[in-house]
Structure 1
Amino acid sequence: MKDTLNALLGGKQGAIGLLILAAIILVVMPVFFDIFRLNLVGKYLSYAFVAVGLVLCWGHGGILSLGQGIFFGLGGYCMAMFLKLEASDAISTAHQTTPGIPDFMDWNQVTSLPMMWEPFHSFAFTLFAVIAIPTALAFIIGIAMFTRRVGDVYFSIVTQAIAAILTILIIGQQGFTGGVNGITDLKTLHGWDIRTDSAKYVLYFVNAGLLIAAILIGRYILSSKLGRLLSAMRDKEERVRFSGYNVSMYKVFIFCVAAAISAIGGAMFTLQVGFMSPSFVGIVPSIEMVIFAAVGGRLSLLGAVYGTLLVNFGKTYFSESFPELWLFLMGGLFIVVVMFFPNGLAGLYDKYVKPYFSGKKPKTLASSHRVVAEHSPVSVNTASVTATSTTAANAEESSK
């Protein structure tokens, strides 16, 4: 029990970091932000689910997916379908040609509810589908790609293509999906009006609680033997494979976990914002979600949350204050992070802040650059190869 708790919290420093994050999103922000801004933060936190999933599959598993918007969008659409059916009761839609079906179906001359919509009358099935459908799709993609050893840039291109295909499909099937407008005008959840201020407060705290739970699950995975194998596969995949491990299935598993976490974020986004559209499924939002993880630190679960908040707060501030320049300012932010802080906010913390708490002397600027060069995941040198070999050897020994 003690070992499990330690794995979830990440030791003393991990527990302190998690408590600080929890205090910020559960206490500080609700106290200082009005309901409009707090609802915006809730939307940002729903994006953070995707960033947390990317830390697992990209940062530690070496699987760069540029299509995580697929799973975020599918989770959101599953929840939106349930909410839309509840908002399309016979009384509310009595003015339609065909009462009892969503308005966009009536506009497109659909005369009966499609079969694929029927199960979403059940909230229990909806909760199951939010996780099961995106995970099943991730499993199919993973089996098709990883068993054929498709990886690196080729896998990233494939996920981009799937995101584009799904977006086109959703827009093209307007009578069944709402088309380019998406599924809108979502009002109640089992009769509870989700548009009220009190409901937005409740949904915000539910969202934040689920995000913390996702971080705990991620920490448990990374602290286990699976986590060590993921790091070894990222750095030296062939050596792990030759040690007798089924690398393909480990990749499929972590890719599915990341998809499930992303889908939960999509469902919470739909509940808080009140709609879901194909604009959150395509290539552009998927790349933005990768940037969230990169800015926060692709090896840090907590850093992914901070990176998501920072980028989205910056995006909101720049777009409000400098509507003609905000795209350039955001682009400059990303360039600076990639060039000078390859490990993101978490890397800055480890180099300049953490030494003060551990009693060690902070690294000088020159030594900090040397450390980045030696340990950055994107570098290729003797030190990184040696560390990689050691990691794989440890994984090999633990299997005996």
Structure 2
Amino acid sequence: MNFVYEKMMGGKKGLTGFLILATLILVIFPLFLDIFRLNLVGKYLTYAFPAVSLVLLWGYGGILSLGQGVFFGLGGYGMAMFLKLEASSVENTKIQSTPGIPDFMDWNQLTSLPWFWEPFNSLTLTILAILILPAAFAYIIGAAMFKRRVGGVYFAIITQVIAVILTILIVGQQGYTGGINGITDLRTLNGWDITTDSAKYIFYFINVALLLGVILLSRLILTSKFGSLLLAIRDKEDRVRFSGYDVSNFKIFIFCFSALISSIGGAMFTLQVGFMSPSFVGIVPSIEMVIFAAVGGRMSLIGAVYGTLLINFGKTAFSESFPELWLFLMGGLFISVVMFFPNGLAGLWDDYGHYITDRFSKSKKTKEDSPEIVEKKSDESAA
């Protein structure tokens, strides 16, 4: 029990912060938001996956990746490919020149399903692909970079270039990927209509459960010896290397793990929104993910979630109320947070969170010291 309390929850303050977040997204949002707004929050929470991954990678590992949108997109496209194949049955596409293939392939005069689409006819293989392919791709990039001691701004630029290349590839290969429009018209999952309100509720809670699970698993990693070494690598990489550790392997692992987390977020995005396009893969979404982590606090897993929610709520509110000024308002919001709260929203919790935990402690102590409890304890001692 002490292991769970200290390692996975982070002690009293960490447990309190986790419970507040869980209450907010599991209870308060579903109770007080209509299905449209709740589905919107669910979409925001899918962005929290890459934001959390950047806390691990950038905050603790000191590795700034400007290409997390790549892994988010790989997960999203993997799920979209399965859903699109289900929607492209021979019966549903009998008016096409070639029934049984996605509509955009038929428009581009393809006459058969490409070989790399075949595994996505199976949900099991699709889930495995969502988990394995982004991590494998991250391993290739990480091994090529970290084994050669490429890091810092050079690594950030390379990941940004990879995001650009993948976006151009997706847009250019319209017959295989859907091009600039992406993969759309996704309606069923193994025959289950995913456009209904009940399905949106279910996907929301699955998304929240996965996000909370990722936070707990990430916290377990960070409180282990690996987490301590990760911090040491960030601050004194040469000293860790001279101590006999293979620094590159640690960096590769955390890069692959962060890619896996981002991919899960992308897959949940496709399920909740019902489409996937290259606009969620390139430079802009990747930089926004870094902003989410920075605003929430790049050393806080829970802060990354709050940062994601704050930025996206602000983006939605500003764009609805001030469609011509919302970009300036969002920029002002980001600058204000960075200037006045350099440690992000998590810095506010570090500074003032003890007031909440102390209040809980005082309430518990007062209850235990009540006359009835004291008298009961005395009777038990006498017995």
TM-score relative to the length of structure 1: 0.88
Could you say which residue in structure 2 is the equivalent of 1:261?
Answer: 261
Number of aligned positions between the proteins? 359
Give yes or no for contact 2:13–2:357 (8 Å, CA) kept in 1: no
Give, in angstroms, the shift of residue 350 of structure 1: 1.0
Distance between the aligned counterparts of 1:256 and 1:210, measured in 2?
18
Distance between the aligned counterparts of 1:186 and 1:12, measured in 2?
44
Give, in angstroms, the shift of residue 264 of structure 1: 0.1
Q: Which residues in structure 2 correspond to 1:207-218 (within 5 Å)?
A: 207-218=207-218
Could you say which residue in structure 1 is the equivalent of 2:369?
Answer: none
Distance between the aligned counterparts of 1:124 and 1:117, measured in 2?
14
Could you say which residue in structure 2 is the equivalent of 1:273?
Answer: 273
3-state SS of paired residue (1:110): coil
Distance between the aligned counterparts of 1:89 and 1:95, measured in 2?
11
1:77 is the counterpart of 2:77: yes
Could you say which residue in structure 1 is the equivalent of 2:29?
Answer: 29
Distance between the aligned counterparts of 1:358 and 1:198, measured in 2?
40
Structure 2 residue identity aligned to 1:346? A
1:239 is the counterpart of 2:246: no
Gaps of 5+ in 2: 360-383
Could you say which residue in structure 1 is the equivalent of 2:139?
Answer: 139
Distance between the aligned counterparts of 1:186 and 1:47, measured in 2?
20
Give, in angstroms, the shift of residue 358 of structure 1: 4.8
1:50 is the counterpart of 2:50: yes
Distance between the aligned counterparts of 1:330 and 1:352, measured in 2?
26
The alpha-carbon distance between structure 1 residues 147 and 358, as it changes in their structure 2 partners (threshold 3 A), is farther
Could you say which residue in structure 2 is the equivalent of 1:158?
Answer: 158
Structure 2 residue identity aligned to 1:20? I
Distance between the aligned counterparts of 1:347 and 1:11, measured in 2?
17
Could you say which residue in structure 2 is the equivalent of 1:220?
Answer: 220
Give, in angstroms, the shift of residue 357 of structure 1: 3.7
Could you say which residue in structure 2 is the equivalent of 1:376?
Answer: none
Could you say which residue in structure 2 is the equivalent of 1:59?
Answer: 59
Give yes or no for contact 2:12–2:357 (8 Å, CA) kept in 1: no
3-state SS of paired residue (2:236): helix
Distance between the aligned counterparts of 1:186 and 1:357, measured in 2?
45
Give, in angstroms, the shift of residue 9 of structure 1: 1.5
The alpha-carbon distance between structure 1 residues 156 and 218, as it changes in their structure 2 partners (threshold 3 A), is same
Could you say which residue in structure 2 is the equivalent of 1:205?
Answer: 205
Structure 2 residue identity aligned to 1:342? P
Could you say which residue in structure 1 is the equivalent of 2:38?
Answer: 38
Q: Deviations over 1:335-389 (max 9, x none)?
A: 1222222210001221234356459xxxxxxxxxxxxxxxxxxxxxxxxxxxxxx
Q: Deviations over 1:7-32 (max 9, x none)?
A: 11212221121111111001000010
Q: Deviations over 1:16-73 (max 9, x none)?
A: 2111111100100001000000000000000000000000000000000000000000
Give, in angstroms, the shift of residue 131 of structure 1: 1.1
Give, in angstroms, the shift of residue 325 of structure 1: 0.7
Could you say which residue in structure 1 is the equivalent of 2:129?
Answer: 129
Structure 2 residue identity aligned to 1:150? V
Structure 1 residue identity aligned to 2:202? V
3-state SS of paired residue (2:66): coil
Could you say which residue in structure 2 is the equivalent of 1:374?
Answer: none
Distance between the aligned counterparts of 2:282 and 2:70, measured in 1?
7
Structure 2 residue identity aligned to 1:177? T
Distance between the aligned counterparts of 1:68 and 1:237, measured in 2?
23
Could you say which residue in structure 2 is the equivalent of 1:16?
Answer: 16
Q: Say which is worse superposed, 76-85 or 340-349, in terms of deviation.
A: 340-349
Distance between the aligned counterparts of 2:201 and 2:358, measured in 1?
38
Distance between the aligned counterparts of 2:22 and 2:51, measured in 1?
17
Structure 2 residue identity aligned to 1:114? P
Could you say which residue in structure 2 is the equivalent of 1:89?
Answer: 89
1:290 is the counterpart of 2:295: no
Structure 1 residue identity aligned to 2:85? L
CA RMSD of aligned residues (A): 1.1
TM-score relative to the length of structure 2: 0.92
